[in-house]
């Protein structure tokens, strides 16, 4: 009988998480007690630092959601799990496909004054912004955001090769959940997926739940980017680590189906995921053929480098398997799980 190996490594980092354990991070009214419960559930998956993610919505609602998350970060006993915040939208592609599940009526062009309002509400803790570079003034906006110390990612886009290149020249350094939020039918070449895969200055985040991406695309993306430029994210929404049923994602009604899909109510359109990071890691090893050491880099060193996250003493003890079984979690030297 083979005994699975027990491994100790750094705490995992998730750069994209819209909610967890029933708590919707996009709702400005989500109670801090519910967010505390979500943090406990996140820790149980081995994630010790994450970026709660606010998606496209009304300007005042996005600001209020960031303010609520900042209160959770500063007031909750384990609020330091929130390493900062990710704003995904509203400066994205408005077309069906690239827009994904984001509400079309709130899509709008980049505005640095709006970014500054986000930062004011978050008290400077926005660390990552996702936008489409198809907007006329996107390069100038990206330059300003990057100059302020915040990472910029390309996502939810139907941009041309020239627009993507201009965004990277301006400082964009990541592709958000590459392979998703795209048109159902694409030209063979050129297209914005190939353009981002081929750009060596871009890292790529991937949702490896075996729902969002097919195995062939996953393997191609892993080979194109290499170990040092792959970042696993969950893109988890409120239904993650909760029972199937009805939930909310900002102003959107979503359902968690019996096969672990988070979809817009009444459709098959994906709206985030129910993925846990300990499962994503196991999927990466199995599908991508990554060694355990390389797999761990995609949820530790790589995301930390992208958002300039300081070193910490977080540790996770887990047993290899499918998924990886979390045994202990240490946050800032204190045992949490």
pLDDT along the chain (337 residues), means of 10: 82 98 98 98 98 98 98 98 98 97 97 98 98 98 98 98 98 98 93 98 98 97 98 98 96 96 95 98 96 97 97 95 96 93
CB atoms within 10 A of CB 145: 25
Domain limits for position 165: 11-335
Which pLDDT belongs to residue 2? 54
Q: Is residue 21 domain-resident?
A: yes
Q: How many domains in the chain?
A: 1
Q: How far apart are the first and last CA of the chain?
A: 28
Q: Is residue 202 domain-resident?
A: yes
User: Would the pTM of this model clear 0.95, i.e. be above it?
Assistant: yes
Q: What's 65's domain CATH number?
A: 3.20.20.140
Q: Is residue 261 domain-resident?
A: yes
CB distance 177 to 206 below 8 Å: yes
Q: Is residue 4 domain-resident?
A: no
Q: Rounded to the nearest 10 degrees, how much is the dihedral formed by the CA atoms of 135, 136, 139, 140?
A: -120
Closest C-alpha to 192, from 117, 237, 134: 134
d(CA 221, CA 226): 8
Which pLDDT belongs to residue 1? 46
Beta strand pairing call for 245-249 and 252-256:
antiparallel
235 catalytic residue (yes or no):
yes
Which pLDDT belongs to residue 234? 98
Q: Is residue 207 domain-resident?
A: yes
Which pLDDT belongs to residue 4? 81
Q: Is residue 2 domain-resident?
A: no
Of 34, 195, 235, 314, which one is the catalytic site residue?
Answer: 235
Q: Is residue 3 domain-resident?
A: no
DSSP secondary structure letter of residue 57? -
277-288 and 215-225 helices, crossing angle to 10°? 80
């Amino acid at each position: 009988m083979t005994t699975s190996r027990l491994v100790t490594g750094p705490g995992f980092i998730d750069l994209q998480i819209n909610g967890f354990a029933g708590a919707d991070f996009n709702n400005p009214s989500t109670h801090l007690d519910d967010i505390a419960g979500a943090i406990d559930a996140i820790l149980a998956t081995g994630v010790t630092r994450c970026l709660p993610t606010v998606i496209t919505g009304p300007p005042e609602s996005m600001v209020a959601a960031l303010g609520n998350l900042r209160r959770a970060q500063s007031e909750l006993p384990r609020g330091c799990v929130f390493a900062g915040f990710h704003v995904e939208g509203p400066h994205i592609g408005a077309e069906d496909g690239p827009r994904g599940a984001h509400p079309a009526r709130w899509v709008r062009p980049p505005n640095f004054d709006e970014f500054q309002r986000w930062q004011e509400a978050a008290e400077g803790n926005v660390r990552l912004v996702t936008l489409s570079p198809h907007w006329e003034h996107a390069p100038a906006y990206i330059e300003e955001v990057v100059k302020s110390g915040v990472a910029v990612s390309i996502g939810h886009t139907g941009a041309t090769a020239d627009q993507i290149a201009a965004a990277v020249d301006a400082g964009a350094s990541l592709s958000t959940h590459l392979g998703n939020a795209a048109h159902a039918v694409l030209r063979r070449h050129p297209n914005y997926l190939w353009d981002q895969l081929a750009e060596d200055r871009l890292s790529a985040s991937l949702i490896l739940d075996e729902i969002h991406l097919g195995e062939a695309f996953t393997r191609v993306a892993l080979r194109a980017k290499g170990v040092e430029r792959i970042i696993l994210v969950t893109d988890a929404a409120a239904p993650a680590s909760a029972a199937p049923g009805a939930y909310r994602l900002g102003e959107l009604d979503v359902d968690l189906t019996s096969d672990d899909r988070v979809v817009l109510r009444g459709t098959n359109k994906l709206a985030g995921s129910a993925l846990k990071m300990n499962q994503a890691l196991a999927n990466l090893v199995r599908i991508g053929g990554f060694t355990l050491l390389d797999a761990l880099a995609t949820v530790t060193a790589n995301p930390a480098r992208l958002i300039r996250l300081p070193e910490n003493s977080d540790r996770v003890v887990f047993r290899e398997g499918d998924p990886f079984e979390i045994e202990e979690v240490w946050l800032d030297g204190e045992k949490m799980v």
